[in-house]
């Protein structure tokens, strides 16, 4: 699948923002601290930038509001509805934290729940597609949710600057869980039998082995550009190492170092480096998520 | 509404494509493009039509496949390898995933005849319906930013300003080999349903669970080349020669 930059940026940033919103919603960071107020604003910013970025790949973004109408059948629509619905408690929580130094438990729980549901909806857009074998598994939403939580707790640790040991330990836990889930996902993607083959796509399997003799056209078309993307596949193994090291190993090292050092500027700097590495790792992971995915229509090409 | 019709539609308009007959001439591709670029919705645009990187939106494309029987690469070794020309357009599926994934309600399946259409004024061009389609039936028009797909020439088949014989999809009307047939596949007594039953028409990718309306008829079995070979006279055989040619044959043999 073609890895559209806007979609990669959207899923990465909004995933991180919603993860942070969960941490804030559950009240892990004290609302009176300046760092927590920054965290609230950062969470809103990440989600907002992510959602705006998602509009960039649309053919007619001026009609995007229509995407809120079909929540009964469409995961994309559900995602839009949940994203906007979650803005309400998150914005209220932010206002409370900034102006009243307060964290409202009910509002916080609603924020955390809405954030997780939104990330789930995002992941189900991909997981619900039977046409892309490696996406069509329950492991896809699991990975998205764990990545979001790992990023959220990691970012919260960096913002708290080593003053929140529980958050750091939870960050460590979620990064490890996300890593394991992603490795299982990759194994599943690499080993599963494709649902469709050139034989089933043409119905000619009863004669023998089917292979393309002549394409319908000499050059690329929308389908081959969108579903037949190949550039990153060439370097997939190297890119996975980058994603693995930056997304998981460096953040884990940063967390362990920070726990060892305790609070202070050096701990905060180390954690900031950790979250930046994680962000890069997730961007690469998301790139691979699209670029490595093989679509059933390519059985015709 | 992007939910599918509540009850399965009684009328199921669709195409039956005969893979035994298609000669791969691409006439249906061109007539489809010509009709639909001036008809329903936005035009089917081309990008860089006179440049080196030509591409454009088509609703119907012809692929050609080579089918090699198990156990053989050389012709005649194990059955006969053959070329099958393969027209492909929207199959107007009963469980159309392109309809249910649509976030805006632009994509819909008509309850009255089962045709899957796009309301282009509602389409935001997110491309998710194309991702959900295993058949590559949908292509985003890059100029209009909306999704295009086969309409089953909905603006021809009910069009009373056209002559009766023209009230069928453009591809069917054009096909010089008569490889494409249009009709109601929901009616077991229709010509197309009978054809499907007699010839063993099949669904493409049944494992995608989309229940396509369009059916494909398989290529008919062929005699293998090794069965036909003995009746082909050898070029050097002059046994049957008579008269002048018999004399010429003998004379040339003597030289």
ipTM value = 0.91
pLDDT given at position B237: 73
Domain boundaries, chain B: 13-228
Question: B110 pLDDT exceeds 90?
Answer: yes
Per-residue pLDDT, averaged over B12-19, amounts to 96
Instruction: Provide the 3-class DSSP secondary structure of residue B2.
Output: coil
pLDDT < 70 positions in chain A: 162, 231-233
What whole-number distance in Å separates Cα of residue B244 and Cα of residue B233?
20
Chain A touched by B21 (CB under 8 Å): no
Closest CA to B98 of B125, B121, B75, B116: B116
pLDDT digits (tens, 9 = 90+) for B39-60: 788 999 999 999 988 999 999 9
Instruction: Output the six-digit token pair for B122.
Output: 């509602």
- The angle that helices A139-160 and A165-191 make with each other, rounded to 10 degrees, is 150
pLDDT class of B219 with cuts at 50, 70, 90: very high
Instruction: Output the six-digit token pair for B254.
Output: 């003597």
Classify residue A54 by burial, with Cβ atoms within 10 Å: 0-12, 13-18, 19+: buried
Question: B252 pLDDT exceeds 70?
Answer: yes
Range of weakest confidence among A233-242, B15-24, B113-122, B180-189: A233-242
Chain A touched by B73 (CB under 8 Å): no
Of B70, B124, B127, the CB nearest to A208: B70
pLDDT given at position B235: 64
Residues in chain B: 255
Task: Find, in chain B, the residue whose alpha carbon is nearest to that of A226.
Answer: B131
CATH code: domain B13-228 is: 3.30.70.20
Question: B171 pLDDT exceeds 80?
Answer: yes
User: Quick one: CA dihedral A53, A58, A59, A61, positive or negative?
Assistant: negative
Contacts of A77 (CB under 8 A, 6+ apart): A67, A68, A69, A70, A71, B103, B104
pLDDT given at position B240: 78
The architecture (CATH level 2) of A5-55+68-213+222-300 comes to Up-down Bundle (1.20)
pLDDT given at position B131: 96
Contacts of B135 (CB under 8 A, 6+ apart): A297, A300, B88, B90, B91, B204, B205, B212
Domain boundaries, chain A: 5-55+68-213+222-300
Question: B233 pLDDT exceeds 80?
Answer: no
Chain A touched by B47 (CB under 8 Å): no
By the 8 A CB rule, do B148 and B57 touch?
Answer: yes
Contacts of A257 (CB under 8 A, 6+ apart): A267, A270
Mean pLDDT for chain B overall: 89
pLDDT given at position B133: 96
Identify the residue among B73, B93, B126, B147 best suited for mutation to test binding to A, counting A beta carbons within 10 A and taking the highest: B126
In whole angstroms, how large is the CA radius of gyration of chain A? 21
Chain B touched by A195 (CB under 8 Å): yes
pLDDT given at position B80: 66
- What's this model's pTM, rounded to 2 decimal places? 0.90
The percent of residues in chain B predicted with pLDDT above 70, rounded, is 89
C-alpha distance from A162 to closest chain B C-alpha (Å): 42
Question: B229 pLDDT exceeds 70?
Answer: no
Question: B144 pLDDT exceeds 90?
Answer: yes
Residue with tokens 């907002």: A48
What whole-number distance in Å separates Cα of residue B117 and Cα of residue B92?
9
Classify residue A34 by burial, with Cβ atoms within 10 Å: 0-12, 13-18, 19+: exposed
By the 8 A CB rule, do B101 and B132 touch?
Answer: yes
pLDDT given at position A48: 95
Interface of B with A in 173-232 (CB under 8 A): 202-209, 216, 218-219
Classify residue B71 by burial, with Cβ atoms within 10 Å: 0-12, 13-18, 19+: exposed
Residue spans of alpha helices (H) in B177-242 = 191-199, 225-228
What whole-number distance in Å separates Cα of residue A30 and Cα of residue A161?
13
By the 8 A CB rule, do B141 and B125 touch?
Answer: no
Question: B78 pLDDT exceeds 70?
Answer: no
Which one is predicted more confidently, B139 or B233? Answer: B139
Contact between B131 and A131 using a beta-carbon 8 Å cutoff: yes
Residue spans of alpha helices (H) in chain A = 5-25, 34-55, 75-100, 105-127, 139-160, 165-191, 198-202, 222-227, 236-244, 250-261, 265-291
Which one is predicted more confidently, A263 or B171? Answer: B171
Instruction: Provide the 3-class DSSP secondary structure of residue A213.
Output: strand
By the 8 A CB rule, do B147 and B129 touch?
Answer: yes
What whole-number distance in Å separates Cα of residue A131 and Cα of residue A88?
35
Of A59, A74, A76, the CB nearest to B140: A59
What whole-number distance in Å separates Cα of residue B188 and Cα of residue B196?
10
pLDDT given at position A234: 74
Per-residue pLDDT, averaged over B123-130, amounts to 95
pLDDT given at position A30: 84
The percent of residues in chain B predicted with pLDDT above 90, rounded, is 73
Residue spans of alpha helices (H) in chain B = 27-37, 97-100, 128-132, 154-157, 170-174, 191-199, 225-228, 243-254
pLDDT given at position B212: 96
pLDDT given at position B209: 95
Question: B123 pLDDT exceeds 90?
Answer: yes
Question: B148 pLDDT exceeds 60?
Answer: yes
The count of CB pairs under 8 A between chains A and B is 205
């Amino acid at each position: 699948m073609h890895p559209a930059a806007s979609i990669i940026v959207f899923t990465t940033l909004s995933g991180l923002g919603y993860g942070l919103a969960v941490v804030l919603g559950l009240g892990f960071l004290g609302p009176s601290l300046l760092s927590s107020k920054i965290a609230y604003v950062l969470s809103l910013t990440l989600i907002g930038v992510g959602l705006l970025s998602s509009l960039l790949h649309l053919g007619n973004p001026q009609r995007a509001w229509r995407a809120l109408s079909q929540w009964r059948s469409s995961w994309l629509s559900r995602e839009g509805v949940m994203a906007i619905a979650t803005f309400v408690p998150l914005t209220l929580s932010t206002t409370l934290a900034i102006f009243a130094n307060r964290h409202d438990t009910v509002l916080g729980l609603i924020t955390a729940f809405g954030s997780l549901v939104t990330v789930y909806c995002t992941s189900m857009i991909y997981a619900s597609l039977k046409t892309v074998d490696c996406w069509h598994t329950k492991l896809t939403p699991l990975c998205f949710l764990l990545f979001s939580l790992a990023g959220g707790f990691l970012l919260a640790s960096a913002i708290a600057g080593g003053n929140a040991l529980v958050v750091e330990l939870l960050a460590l836990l979620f990064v490890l869980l996300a890593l394991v889930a992603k490795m299982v996902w990759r194994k599943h993607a690499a080993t599963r039998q494709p649902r469709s083959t050139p034989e089933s796509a043409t119905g000619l399997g009863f004669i023998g082995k089917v292979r393309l003799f002549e394409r319908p056209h000499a050059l690329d078309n929308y389908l081959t550009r969108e579903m037949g993307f190949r550039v990153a596949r060439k370097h997939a193994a190297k890119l996975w190492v980058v994603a693995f090291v930056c997304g998981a190993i460096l953040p884990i090292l940063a967390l362990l170092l920070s726990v060892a050092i305790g609070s202070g500027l050096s701990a905060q700097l180390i954690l900031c480096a950790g979250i930046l590495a994680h962000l890069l790792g997730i961007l690469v992971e998301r790139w691979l998520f699209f670029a490595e995915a093989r679509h059933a229509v390519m059985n015709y090409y | 509404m992007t939910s599918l019709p509540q009850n399965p539609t009684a009328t199921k308009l669709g195409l039956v494509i005969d893979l035994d007959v298609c000669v791969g001439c691409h006439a249906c591709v061109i007539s489809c493009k010509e009709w639909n670029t001036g008809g329903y919705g936005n035009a089917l645009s081309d990008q860089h039509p006179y440049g080196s990187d030509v591409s454009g939106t088509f609703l119907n494309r012809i692929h050609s496949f080579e089918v090699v029987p198990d156990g053989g690469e050389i012709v005649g070794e194990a059955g006969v390898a053959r070329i099958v020309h393969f027209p492909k357009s929207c199959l107007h599926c009963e469980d159309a995933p392109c309809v249910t994934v649509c976030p805006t309600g632009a994509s819909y399946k008509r309850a009255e005849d089962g045709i899957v259409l796009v309301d282009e004024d509602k389409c935001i061009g997110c491309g998710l319906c194309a991702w959900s389609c295993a058949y590559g039936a949908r292509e985003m028009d890059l100029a209009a930013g909306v999704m295009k797909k086969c309409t089953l020439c909905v603006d021809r088949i009910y069009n009373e300003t056209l002559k009766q014989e023209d009230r069928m999809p453009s591809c069917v009307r054009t096909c010089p080999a008569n490889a494409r047939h249009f009709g109601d596949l929901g009616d077991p007594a229709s010509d197309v349903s009978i054809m499907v039953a007699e010839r063993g028409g099949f669904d493409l990718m049944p494992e995608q669970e989309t229940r396509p309306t369009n059916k494909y008829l398989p290529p008919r079995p062929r005699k293998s080349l090794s069965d036909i070979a003995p009746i082909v006279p050898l070029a050097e055989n002059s046994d049957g020669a008579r008269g002048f040619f018999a004399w010429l044959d003998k004379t040339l043999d003597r030289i």
